[in-house]
Amino acid sequence: MSAKISQRTTLTIVLLACVIFFASPALASVGDRLPEFKTCLSHCVEKECNPNGHGLPLYMRLLFWTCPQNCDYVCQHLVTASRIHQDLSIEQFHGKWPFLRMLGIQEPASVLFSVLNFIPHYYGLKTISKLTASSGTISDTTALTPFLVLVYKGFALVGMNAWVWSSVFHVRDFVLTERLDYFSAGLTVTYGFFTATVRVFRLDLPKHANLRYLLILICITAYVSHVSYLSFVTFSYSYNMLANVVVGLLQNTLWIYHSISTYQASKSSNGSRSWKLWPGLIVLSITLAMSLELFDFPPILGILDAHALWHAGTVLPTMWWYAYMKRDIKELKTIKQKE
């Protein structure tokens, strides 16, 4: 009885925490305020951005580059090269490091790793669909429920959406692409928390339908409120990051708890139960990859920065997620559902 009360108390705490957010002001960069940058930009626009100036190549126009934006890019690198020659620090411009673009793509390394992150979600969705497509796979008598399968498929779809917009944003940084990237990432974090809560507390079971609906309502309300605040009140980078970190930590805590508890409860003695620890190890590895953001540094060779390395570090853990889901689905199909 005490175990049930403890579990309900834990569930109540994490549900309430889903709607707790914090805000703080964002910081600005200094590179675009350097006098030499302003002078360079003014001269470039005056010289190039007129009928007699050099036109932009087609591939850049297709990515919506304009003459003033190209001048901005050129001046960033001229100023950066000059500062390096003078042994001065490399500065950010408009909140970003001066990246070397490739075929008009602003951050090619981040684009590449975003695409690589999309692929495991795509094949993960196919794997889950294949595992649950055959007749008799999902039964009212087994622990594998249609709702849990739906949640796992949704995890893949939400992940695919996030990495599509991450790719688009790193190709060209506009207000719209930035918002779509940030909001999609926020949806991924929220849905990840939803997935963890459903799986850990088995809210997919029919007897927990009311709690499941409550969780859905809370997560939707929290996400819509978060997006509305960023869209209509103020777009604070620090608030957005902190909100995602808070919900992400809650998700990680749930998966670590689930890993340890299911591992200890397993009666298997042949070593096959080690996969039950995977969720905890996965979220820890993703957290480790995200921590690379703390070591922010100018891009190596003008291409590879901490943000790109973070994206690179999440590819294998994502593949690991679907390996776990596959094992989880297979085991749940063999377990009788408790009344």
Q: What is the pTM of this model?
A: 0.86
Going from the C-alpha of 186 to that of each of 122, 160, 162, 176, the distances in angstroms are 19, 13, 9, 15
- Alpha carbon distance 200, 151 (integer Å): 13
Whole-number pLDDT of residue 29: 75
- Alpha carbon distance 298, 79 (integer Å): 14
Residues lower than pLDDT 50 in the chain: 2-3, 5, 12-27, 135, 339
- Alpha carbon distance 326, 155 (integer Å): 13
- Alpha carbon distance 302, 105 (integer Å): 13
What is the number of other CB atoms lying within 10 angstroms of the CB of residue 122? 14
Q: Residue 211's closest CA among 195, 198, 223?
A: 198
Q: Which residues of 236-247 are buried (b: 16+ CB within 10 A; e: fewer)?
A: beebbeebbebb
Residue 32 near residue 71 (C-beta atoms within 8 A): no
The conformation of residue 110, written as its DSSP 8-state character, comes to H
Whole-number pLDDT of residue 17: 43
- Alpha carbon distance 166, 182 (integer Å): 8
pLDDT digits (tens, 9 = 90+) for 83-141: 999 999 999 999 899 999 999 999 999 999 999 999 999 999 999 999 988 645 565 65
| Burial class (CB within 10 angstroms; exposed 0-12, middle 13-18, buried 19+) of 199 | buried
Going from the C-alpha of 162 to that of each of 29, 195, 231, 287, 311, the distances in angstroms are 26, 16, 18, 18, 12
The neighbouring-strand residues paired with 215 are none
- Alpha carbon distance 268, 95 (integer Å): 52
The pair of structure tokens assigned to 91 is: 């500065």
The conformation of residue 116, written as its DSSP 8-state character, comes to H
Whole-number pLDDT of residue 301: 93
- Alpha carbon distance 200, 207 (integer Å): 15
The conformation of residue 231, written as its DSSP 8-state character, comes to I
The pair of structure tokens assigned to 320 is: 């690991």
Residue 292 near residue 310 (C-beta atoms within 8 A): yes
Whole-number pLDDT of residue 134: 66
The pair of structure tokens assigned to 123 is: 């094949």
- Alpha carbon distance 332, 145 (integer Å): 9
- Alpha carbon distance 170, 101 (integer Å): 10
Please name the residue ranges forming H helices in 266-314.
278-290, 306-313
- Domains for the chain: give ranges and CATH numbers: 27-98 (no CATH), 108-334 (1.20.1070)
User: Could you tell me which residues come within 8 angstroms of residue 38 by beta carbon, excluding any fewer than 6 positions away?
Assistant: 32
**Dihedral (Cα; 204, 210, 213, 214), 10-degree rounding:** -120
User: Could you tell me which residues come within 8 angstroms of residue 177 by beta carbon, excluding any fewer than 6 positions away?
Assistant: 165, 168, 169, 171
| Spacing of C-alpha 55 from chain mean position | 37
Task: Give the amino acid at 241.
Answer: M
